[in-house]
C-alpha cells in the first residue's frame, strides 16, 4: 500500500509561516488536508476570442497586458487591454488609482477571473474582473485544464492577503505533491455495485473535472464515501449492541397495563399509538437491548406511549427514568404521569436541580431503595449522587438537546437498560438515517380524532390593531391566548421585541382589563410553573412568554398563538410553538407577526400558512437552513460533510447504508480487509468511533 506523501502546508509554494497559521486554524496542516478541500465552483477556461459565447458568465482567461490608460479624474476606472492569440478585450479596473498605476505593466502575462458583460453604452463586450494572478512558473500546467476550480476563502485566509486564484494555485501545488499516493478507500465490490469511480480519480476530477457533467459524477463518488463510512459506524454500533450485550427480558405484560388501557385512560388511543406501543413492547420482551427513536408531531401523544412502557418495566421489577431538557418540561411530564400512576398504586418522583435539599435527599433515597418506580428529571438524573436500584428502561425526551456523554451517563446507571429517545421535531429521512442510523424508528403519524388543523396566518405591523381585536374577541368568547417574543429583555445589539418590555405595554396599554402572566427562562422554574398553572386554571387569560413554552405545555382552552418577530425563528421551532394550541376540540389559530426580510424568509413563513404537516415543514427547514441549524443548535460537528448534501442525496444515503450494513453483516470485524486501504482509512479517520464501539 503506497502511503500518501504529506508535506506541511508551510512548505507548499505560495504559503509560508503566516498563511500556514491561518490554514491551521481551519484544521489544515498538511498537503493531504488541502486536497480534501473541494471547490466551491468551477470556471470555464477559455480564450478571449471565445468570450462572446459566455455572455453574463464568469470565466477564466490568460492574457498579456497590451495597453493601460489611467483615469484623468478621481473615482474613474483604469482601462486595461488584455490580449492573447485569439483577440483582445478591455477591462475596467475600479479602486485605488495609485495601486493600479504600479500594477499591470505592459507586456506582463496574467490569469484573470471575471464576468463577460455587454456594455450597452459603448456597444461592445467588456470583461468585469473579479480576481487576477500574475503568470508564474507552474501556471502553464494548471491552465491546460478546461475547468479551473475556485475555493471558499475564509476570513482567516483573507487576513493574510491571499486571493482566490492564489488559493487555487496553492491547492494545485498540494495535488502535485500528494496525488500519486492517494489510496483507495472503498473495496472493489462496493465500488462496482454502486457504479463509483476509484478514490484517486474522483479526488483529482473533483478539482479538475473533464466537463461540467463530470463534476456531479465525481461528487457523488466522494459523497458516497463519506456517507458509507458514517453508515459503517452505525452498522458496527448496532451490531455491537445486538451481539455484545445481554438485554433485559421484560416478560410480564398485563395487570396495570391492561387496567390503564381499559379503566383509566379517558380517551381512545389512535391507531398509530397502538402500533408504536406494540413495536416498543415487542422490543422490551425480546431480551435484546432496545435502542429506538420515537418520532411524533406536536400533540400526537408520545407521552402516553412512554407511560405504557413504564408500566411494563415496573411490572417486571425495574425502575424507569424519564430525562427532560428543562425543569418546566420535567414538571409537566411528572404531573401527567403522577395522575395515572396514583390511580394504579405506583410511585413516580421528580428530580431537578431546583429542589430544596431535604426534598432532594428524600427523592434520592426513594430511588436508591427502589421505592421510586418512575423517576422524572432533568440532567440532574446523571449526577453521581443518583443511584438507581434497578434501572431497566430510560426515556430521553427532546433528545437532540442532550449531548452524547449526557445520554451515556444516564444509561451507565443501569445494566444495559432499554432506551427510547423521543422527539417532537419531525426529522427528514436523510437526517434520520445519518444521525440516528443505529436506532430503530417508530413514528406516530396520526393525531387524535378530535383535533382540528390550526389555522395559520402571516401578518405585518399594519395589521397589529386588527390582530389585537381578534385576540380580544376570542378571549371574550372564553378562550385564552399565548403571545411569544424572541428575547427576554431589550438589547442594544439585537433589534428585537422583548417579552419583558412588551408585557408591560400589553398589560397597561393594550389589554388593561385582562389578566396577563409572564414567563421566561431567567425565572425560577417554580415561578414559571405557578404562572402556567394559573393560566391552566383560567385565572390568567393571556400568557406572554419566550420560547420557554416551546414543548410540554398542554392547555386545551388556549386557542390563539401570536408569535412576534416570526422571521427570527426556525421553521421547526415555529411548528413546535404552534403546537401549544390546537390541543382541544375548538378551532385554534396561529398568527405570525413578521416584517419583510427577504425572499427566503418569506418562503419559510409561507410554508407555515400552507400546512400543519411537521414532516413537510422539516423537509423545507432542512432545505433552506441546512443540517447544521436544523434543530436550532449547531449540529455541524456531527455532520461535517465536504461532498455529501443531505438535502439532495437521499438516494445516496440509502445506497451507502445498504452497502455498509451488508459489509458488517458479512464481516463484522472487517477481518477480510486486514491489509486493505478500506480498513486503514477507517482506522485513521474513525478511530474514535472504533474505540467507542469496541471493534478491534
> 637 or 255, which is more confident?
255
Asked whether residue 73 falls in the same domain as residue 106, the answer is: yes
Query: In this structure, what CATH number is given to the domain that contains residue 66?
Result: 2.40.50.140
* Domain total of the chain: 5
- Whether 226 and 342 map to the same domain: the answer is no
For 555, the domain range is: 455-611
pLDDT reading at 499 higher than 90 = no
**pLDDT, mean of residues 486-494:** 58
Q: Is residue 295 within 8 Å of residue 267, measured between CB atoms? A: no
pLDDT of 104 higher than 60:
yes
Closest among 189, 205, 199 to 224, alpha carbons compared? 199
CA–CA distances in Å: residue 108 to residues 97, 397, 561: 19, 66, 67
If asked whether residues 260 and 172 sit together in one domain, one would say no
Q: List C-alpha distances in Å: 440 to 291, 419, 655, 690, 693.
A: 6, 11, 18, 21, 18
pLDDT score recorded for residue 268: 85
The C-alpha cell 414567563 sits at 519
Q: 216 and 232 in one domain?
A: yes
**Cell 421585541 identifies what position?**
497
Phi and psi for 118 in degrees, rounded to 5? Answer: -100, 120
Whether residue 465 is found in the same domain as residue 566: yes
Give the phi and the psi of residue 479 in degrees, each rounded to 5.
-90, 175
Is residue 622 assigned to a domain? Answer: no
| Domain annotation covers residue 527 | yes
**Secondary structure (H, E, C), 574-605:** HHHHHCCCCCCCCCCEEEEECCCCCHHHHHHH
Picking from 592, 611, 630, the residue at the C-terminal end of a domain is: 611
Residue 433 falls inside a structural domain: no
Which grid coordinates belong to 83? 490580449
- Evaluate whether residue 480 is within a structural domain: yes
pLDDT given for residue 595 in this prediction: 75
Task: List, in order, residues 6 or more apart from 397 with CB less than 8 Å away.
Answer: 322, 323, 324, 325, 329, 333, 422
Identify which of 219, 551, 193, 423 has the alpha carbon closest to the alpha carbon of residue 431: 423
Beta bridge partners of 423: 295
Averaged over 146-174, what is the pLDDT? 91
pTM, rounded to two decimals = 0.70
CB atoms within 10 A of CB 426: 24
415 and 271, same domain (yes or no): yes
| Distance (Å, whole) CA 84 – CA 65 | 9
Residue finishing a domain among 611, 631, 654: 611
Does one domain contain both 589 and 682? no
Residues 302, 444: Cα–Cα separation, whole Å = 8
Residues 305 and 402 in one domain: yes
Task: Give tens-digit pLDDT for 220-252.
Answer: 999 999 888 888 888 887 777 667 667 889 988
- Same domain membership, residue 572 and residue 673: no
Exposed (0-12), middle (13-18) or buried (19+): which is 381, by Cβ within 10 Å?
A: buried
Whether 29 and 57 share a structural domain: no
Does residue 634 form part of some domain? no
Q: What is the CATH number of the domain that holds 171?
A: 1.10.150.20
CATH of the domain at 306: 3.40.50.300
Task: Give domain status of residue 340, yes or no.
Answer: yes
pLDDT surpassing 60 at residue 696 = no
Residue pair 496/565 in contact (Cβ under 8 Å)? The answer is yes
HSE-CB for 144 with a 13 A CA cutoff: 4
Tell me, yes or no, whether 27 and 167 share the same domain: yes
- Does residue 171 register a pLDDT over 80? yes
Residue 679 has pLDDT above 70, yes or no: no
Is residue 348 within 8 Å of residue 395, measured between CB atoms?
A: no
The pLDDT, as a whole number, for residue 276 is 94
Tell whether 88 is covered by a domain: yes
Tell whether 639 is covered by a domain. no
Mark whether 173 and 315 lie in a shared domain: no
Question: What mean pLDDT comes out for the span 615-640?
Answer: 57
Amino acid at each position: 500500500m503506497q502511503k500518501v506523501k504529506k508535506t506541511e502546508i508551510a512548505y507548499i509554494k505560495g504559503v509560508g509561516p503566516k498563511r500556514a497559521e491561518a490554514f491551521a486554524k481551519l484544521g489544515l496542516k498538511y498537503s493531504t488536508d488541502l486536497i480534501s478541500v473541494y471547490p466551491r465552483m468551477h470556471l470555464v477556461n477559455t480564450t478571449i476570442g471565445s468570450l462572446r459565447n459566455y455572455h453574463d458568465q464568469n470565466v477564466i482567461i490568460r492574457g498579456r497586458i497590451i495597453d493601460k490608460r489611467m483615469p484623468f479624474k478621481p473615482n474613474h476606472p483604469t482601462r486595461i487591454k488584455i490580449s492573447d492569440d485569439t483577440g483582445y478585450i478591455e477591462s475596467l479596473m475600479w479602486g485605488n488609482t495609485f495601486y493600479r498605476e504600479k500594477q499591470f505593466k505592459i507586456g506582463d502575462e496574467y490569469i484573470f477571473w471575471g464576468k463577460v458583460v455587454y456594455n450597452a453604452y459603448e456597444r461592445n463586450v467588456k470583461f468585469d474582473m473579479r480576481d487576477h494572478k500574475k503568470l508564474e512558473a507552474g501556471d502553464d500546467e494548471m491552465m491546460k485544464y478546461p475547468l479551473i476550480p475556485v475555493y471558499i476563502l475564509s476570513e482567516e485566509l483573507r487576513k493574510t492577503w491571499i486571493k482566490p486564484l492564489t488559493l487555487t494555485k496553492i491547492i494545485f501545488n498540494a495535488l502535485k505533491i500528494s496525488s500519486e499516493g492517494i489510496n483507495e478507500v472503498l473495496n472493489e465490490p462496493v465500488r462496482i455495485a454502486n457504479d463509483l469511480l476509484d478514490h484517486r480519480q474522483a479526488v483529482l476530477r473533483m478539482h479538475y473535472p473533464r466537463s461540467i457533467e463530470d463534476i456531479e459524477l465525481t461528487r457523488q463518488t466522494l459523497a458516497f464515501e463519506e456517507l458509507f463510512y458514517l453508515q459503517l459506524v452505525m452498522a458496527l454500533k448496532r451490531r455491537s449492541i445486538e451481539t455484545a450485550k445481554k438485554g433485559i427480558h421484560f416478560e410480564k405484560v398485563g395487570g396495570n397495563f391492561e387496567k390503564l388501557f381499559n379503566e383509566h385512560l379517558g380517551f381512545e388511543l389512535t391507531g398509530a399509538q397502538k402500533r408504536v406501543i406494540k413495536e416498543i413492547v415487542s422490543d422490551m420482551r425480546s431480551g435484546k437491548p432496545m435502542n429506538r427513536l420515537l418520532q411524533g408531531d406536536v400533540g400526537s401523544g408520545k407521552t402516553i406511549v412512554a407511560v405504557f412502557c413504564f408500566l411494563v418495566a415496573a411490572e417486571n421489577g425495574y425502575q424507569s427514568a424519564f430525562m427532560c431538557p428543562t425543569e418546566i418540561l420535567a414538571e409537566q411530564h411528572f404531573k401527567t404521569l403522577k395522575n395515572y400512576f396514583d390511580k394504579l398504586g405506583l410511585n413516580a418522583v421528580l428530580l431537578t436541580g431546583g429542589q430544596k435539599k431535604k426534598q432532594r435527599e428524600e427523592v434520592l433515597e426513594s430511588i436508591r431503595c427502589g421505592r421510586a418506580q418512575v423517576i422524572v428529571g432533568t440532567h440532574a438524573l446523571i449526577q453521581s449522587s443518583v443511584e438507581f436500584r434497578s434501572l431497566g428502561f430510560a426515556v430521553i425526551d427532546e433528545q437532540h438537546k442532550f449531548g452524547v456523554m449526557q445520554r451515556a451517563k444516564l444509561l451507565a446507571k443501569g445494566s444495559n437498560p432499554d432506551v427510547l429517545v423521543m422527539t417532537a421535531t419531525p426529522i427528514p429521512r436523510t437526517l434520520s438515517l445519518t444521525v440516528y442510523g443505529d436506532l430503530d424508528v417508530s413514528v406516530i403519524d396520526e393525531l387524535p380524532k378530535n383535533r382540528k388543523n390550526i389555522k395559520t396566518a402571516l401578518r405585518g405591523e399594519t395589521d397589529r390593531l386588527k390582530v389585537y381585536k381578534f385576540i380580544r374577541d376570542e378571549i371574550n368568547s372564553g378562550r385564552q391566548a399565548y403571545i411569544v417574543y424572541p428575547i427576554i429583555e431589550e438589547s442594544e445589539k439585537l433589534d428585537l421585541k422583548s417579552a419583558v418590555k412588551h408585557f408591560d405595554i400589553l398589560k397597561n396599554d393594550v389589554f388593561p382589563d385582562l389578566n396577563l402572566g409572564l414567563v421566561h427562562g431567567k425565572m425560577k422554574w417554580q415561578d414559571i410553573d405557578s404562572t402556567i398553572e394559573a393560566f391552566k386554571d383560567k385565572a390568567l387569560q393571556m400568557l406572554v412568554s419566550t420560547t420557554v413554552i416551546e414543548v410540554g405545555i398542554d392547555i386545551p382552552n388556549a386557542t390563539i398563538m401570536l408569535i412576534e418577530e416570526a422571521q427570527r425563528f426556525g421553521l421547526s421551532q415555529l411548528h413546535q410553538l404552534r403546537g401549544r394550541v390546537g390541543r382541544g376540540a375548538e378551532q385554534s389559530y396561529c398568527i405570525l407577526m413578521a416584517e419583510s426580510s427577504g425572499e427566503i424568509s418569506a418562503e419559510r413563513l409561507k410554508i407555515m400558512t400552507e400546512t400543519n404537516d411537521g414532516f413537510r415543514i422539516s423537509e423545507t427547514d432542512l432545505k433552506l437552513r441546512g443540517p447544521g441549524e436544523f434543530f436550532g443548535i449547531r449540529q455541524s460537528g456531527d455532520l461535517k460533510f465536504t461532498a455529501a448534501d443531505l438535502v439532495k442525496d437521499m438516494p445516496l444515503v440509502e445506497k451507502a447504508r445498504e452497502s455498509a450494513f451488508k459489509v458488517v453483516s458479512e464481516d463484522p470485524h472487517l477481518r477480510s480487509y486486514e491489509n486493505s486501504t478500506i480498513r486503514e482509512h477507517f482506522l485513521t479517520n474513525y478511530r474514535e468511533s472504533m474505540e467507542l464501539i469496541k471493534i478491534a
